[in-house]
Amino acid sequence: MASQSKLHLFLSSWSTRLALAMIVIVVLMAFLAPWLASQDPMFLDPSVRLKKPSAAHILGTDAYGRDLYSRIIYGSRVSLMVGTGVLAISVFFGVILGALAGYFRALDSVIMRIMDGIMAIPAVLLAIALVSVSGASLTTVIVAIAVPEIPRVTRLVRSIMLSVRSEPYVEAAVTLGTSPLKILLRHMLPNTVAPLIVQGTYIFAAAVLIEAILSFLGAGIPPEVPSWGNIIADGRSYFQLLPGLVLYPGIVLSLTILTINMLGDAARDALDPKLAARN
Amino acid sequence: MTHPGNERPETVLSVRDLCVETVSRSDPRPILKSVSFDVYAAETLCIVGESGSGKSVTAFSVMGLLPPDALRRSGGRILLNGRDLSTARPGEILALRATTMSMVFQEPMTALNPVRRIGEQLDEVIRIHRSLPAAQRREMVMKMLTEVDLPDPPRIYRSYPHELSGGQRQRIVIAMALILEPKLLIADEPTTALDVTTQKQILHLMKELQRVHGTSVIFITHDFGVVAEIADRILVMRHGVTIENGTRDQILAAPADPYTRELVASVPGIHPPAPLPPKHDRVLSLRNVSKTYGTRPLFGRPRLVHALSDVNLDVHRDEIVGIVGESGSGKSTLARCVIGLVEGWTGEIRLGDHLLEDASRNRSYDIKQRLQIVFQDPYRSLNPRRRIGASLMEGLTNFGMAESQARRKVAEVLEIVGLDSSVMQRYPHQFSGGQRQRLCLARAIVMEPEILIADEAVSALDVTVQGQVLDLLADIKRRTGVAILFITHDLRVAAQISDTIIVMQHGRIVEKGTPQQVIRSPREDYTRELIQSAPGAHWDFRNFRPFVAEPGAEPAVS
């Protein structure tokens, strides 16, 4: 009953529905890429390099004669994989570490000081270091972006744990002889779900953006793989000749991040009990 | 204008057919239904009612403070000094606040701005409404601080709110409300958050200020004890309707409406029931239990707070031990040491023959099962995400009982607490505060404990519900022989239910005895002070009459 009204609240505004539709389009792009794309995104054809949009190449071609439209479609795969991968890793480790730090007093200061240390590492520097050690790959990029996000999730989960552990219903569970693990899973962790959904959308959006930055700088995905950052990096020298090489992937990237953030805001409003009470 | 020699008292506030409803286009719900009353010059009108009765909404309507996105006035008139507030523009009402009518809120902690000095906050009130030179304003503030009996006004003037106690803060709030000599003061539960001894002082102060300044007071409260102390006239409200309106003696001695009768009769009197309980086997004993909280700063001496010092206590089977004390007396710490939610205490606690381990996590299941607790806040004591059935069976299944058997047992216990077994399918938010407290009780007693700790378990409940839960506790004791540690700040409630009363102050037990002994012939000054501070101690609510003689306690302020 309560969750239904929350969903209703979430979907009540037009901007949210629009954002949701945009996300669905990006996801469909990624899954249906082989059918949507007009040709192999890596296929080189020097005879048609730097062509303006035409019937054969809807958005034109790049400096190597690759089809820009197909590359943008396939680029959504990289973005979604990076976003999902970073989200999964940071939430997985963040929740475990945050729960341990928030529940067991003895572990708190140890875990949190390590987190403070990790937080001091910039994602871009870590990525450059990792790429120079292990070579450019999707996994490297995901790890490089995920590691600095872990402390954020850890802090969020820990703070919720600390505020919930003195709730009478948690203390009641202690006196009823419930084991610490069950108390954590049953009574405490469910409180983190709503804030994690909100935080998760921001992490996802940030990951997509940082991947684009890393690829643009040449420290990310291998250059032949179509990712929005790579496409922009390839096209930047020809910007004056063919602005579409930068503009089209740029617009798709911006719209994707904007809509994810809008969903995050809408989720926050829908899940915030104070805002819910007002409606 | 006052007409000297006029016999009829001047009407300061006149509310006629006031209706308030929720703001909603589709389905506006009425909150106040045609409320009418008058407040005369220099009198105190008490508006009494349980939660949801609309007493605070009435006050907010008069002050023009209804939250615009939630409530709106849908009819009726409010006349202040003959002036119709319902047609006044917002700016006019703003000018009337503090000068003609002002308000004191319940929570003195949040009514003051924490980042500004007391003096500045009082000064601001004058500055907004009067153009006076700074020196004269300061003089007015100092005079007012003296009037509310605060020591060393210049120091208070420079203080920040956090440097003052709750009672001092409430004095500041009162000073702020009265500094421009308003005709009408609205006090919304101004003493509810305070200890009884402080409450008594504040009530006395308000009476005194009212006498000096001739202010009319609307005093909103749920506590008939307070009403008996200060009211000239009483307005009883329920579900947004005026139930009864009359002088104090009419309402307290001869309430006409059955609801008023029930409300008055549920007020715990300070006079204990007679029977002495037979002593059974000892189930719990505390020997020299102490608990010290401390912060060990990097430099300097550690700061220690003695929450409990050398507490000795025996609890017997079939006995209700009332532990009474004001905030900070250590009564809750005592309970939490016994149950194992506080660790690092010293001394010995024995459950039967078993020497209890420090913290709950070091205790065996068997020991945990024998000790159970019910907390104060019924809204936070049940996990909002779990069904009632799951919450109530949790303890039993922890001990390895099969789910079907646990379900049967919970259903049995639900019947004892007066609820149907179908509630197991529902969620906590579908229940009222009183019902939730019954559920918490059920969760505790389904474990068949030897000791049940009730930590302020009825303090958050309305007085009629409170009476029902107290009866239920006594009933459970009779049925199961469980010993109950009943922790409360309210001596009246303790006197009503306990077999033994313990009075605590600063972490020590200062008095111990049967309710008869403790209340009729207290040995300690502190106990005597507590008894005298209990509001309405001179009134026998059950029998709708004043007590004839007051052994051990003086008649309170009148």
> Taking 90 as the threshold, does the pLDDT of residue B186 lie above it?
yes
- C-alpha span between B101 and B14 (Å, rounded): 13
A177·B443 Cβ contact <8 A = no
- pLDDT band (50, 70, 90) for residue B450: very high
Calculate what percentage of chain A has a pLDDT beyond 90.
37
Q: Give per-residue pLDDT as tens, B506-521.
A: 999 999 988 888 888 8
B371·A175 Cβ contact <8 A = yes
Calculate what percentage of chain B has a pLDDT beyond 90.
50
Chain B residues with CB-CB distance to A177 below 8 A: 365, 368-369, 395, 398-399
- Among the ranges given (A98-102, A264-268, B143-147), the one the predictor scored with the smallest mean pLDDT: A264-268
B447·A176 Cβ contact <8 A = yes
Q: Which of B373, B383, B399 lies at the smallest CB-CB distance from A175?
A: B373
Task: Give pLDDT, residue B275.
Answer: 60
Q: Give per-residue pLDDT as tens, B43-64.
A: 999 999 888 889 999 999 999 8
Distance from CA of A155 to the nearest CA of B (A): 23
Query: Whole-model pTM above 0.90?
Result: no
- Nearest 5°: the CA angle B547, B553, B556 is 70
> Taking 70 as the threshold, does the pLDDT of residue A1 lie above it?
no
A278·B69 Cβ contact <8 A = yes
Q: Around Cβ A162, how many Cβ atoms within 10 Å?
A: 15
A187·B395 Cβ contact <8 A = no
Q: Around Cβ A80, how many Cβ atoms within 10 Å?
A: 19
Chain B interface test: which of A1, A160, A175 (most B C-beta within 10 Å):
A175
Mean pLDDT in chain B? 88
Among all residues of chain A, which has the CA nearest to that of B440? A172
Q: Which of A169, A174, A177 lies at the smallest CB-CB distance from B383?
A: A169
Task: Give pLDDT, residue B276.
Answer: 59
Q: What is the mean pLDDT of residues A15-21?
A: 87
Chain B residues with CB-CB distance to A193 below 8 A: none
Q: Give per-residue pLDDT as tens, B461-473.
A: 888 888 889 989 9
Q: What is the mean pLDDT of residues B225-237?
A: 92
Chain A interface test: which of B374, B382, B394 (most A C-beta within 10 Å):
B394
Among all residues of chain A, which has the CA nearest to that of B24? A279
Task: Give pLDDT, residue B554.
Answer: 44
- Residue A147 near residue A112, CB atoms below 8 Å: no
Task: Give pLDDT, residue B441.
Answer: 93
> Taking 50 as the threshold, does the pLDDT of residue A278 lie above it?
no
Pair type for strands B184-188 and B346-351: unpaired
- Residue A70 near residue A76, CB atoms below 8 Å: no
Distance from CA of A195 to the nearest CA of B (A): 16
Q: What is the mean pLDDT of residues B477-502?
A: 90
Q: Give per-residue pLDDT as tens, B68-106.
A: 888 888 889 999 988 888 888 888 888 888 889 999 988
Chain A residues with CB-CB distance to B357 below 8 A: none
Kindly tell me the burial class for residue A122, based on how many C-beta atoms sit within 10 Å of its own C-beta (0-12, 13-18, 19 or more): exposed
Q: Give per-residue pLDDT as tens, A214-231.
A: 888 888 888 888 889 888
> Taking 70 as the threshold, does the pLDDT of residue A279 lie above it?
no
Q: What is the mean pLDDT of residues B270-286?
A: 74
Chain B residues with CB-CB distance to A171 below 8 A: 341, 373, 375
> Taking 60 as the threshold, does the pLDDT of residue B553 lie above it?
no
- Residue B72 near residue B195, CB atoms below 8 Å: no
- pLDDT band (50, 70, 90) for residue B278: low
Looking at this predicted complex, what is its ipTM?
0.79
Distance from CA of A179 to the nearest CA of B (A): 8
> Taking 80 as the threshold, does the pLDDT of residue A8 lie above it?
no
B368·A177 Cβ contact <8 A = yes
Chain A residues whose C-beta is within 8 A of a chain B C-beta are 2, 167-169, 171-180, 182, 186-187, 190, 278
Q: What is the mean pLDDT of residues A224-249?
A: 88
Task: Give pLDDT, residue B279.
Answer: 65
Distance from CA of A181 to the nearest CA of B (A): 12
- pLDDT band (50, 70, 90) for residue B534: confident
- Nearest 5°: the CA angle B188, B190, B193 is 120
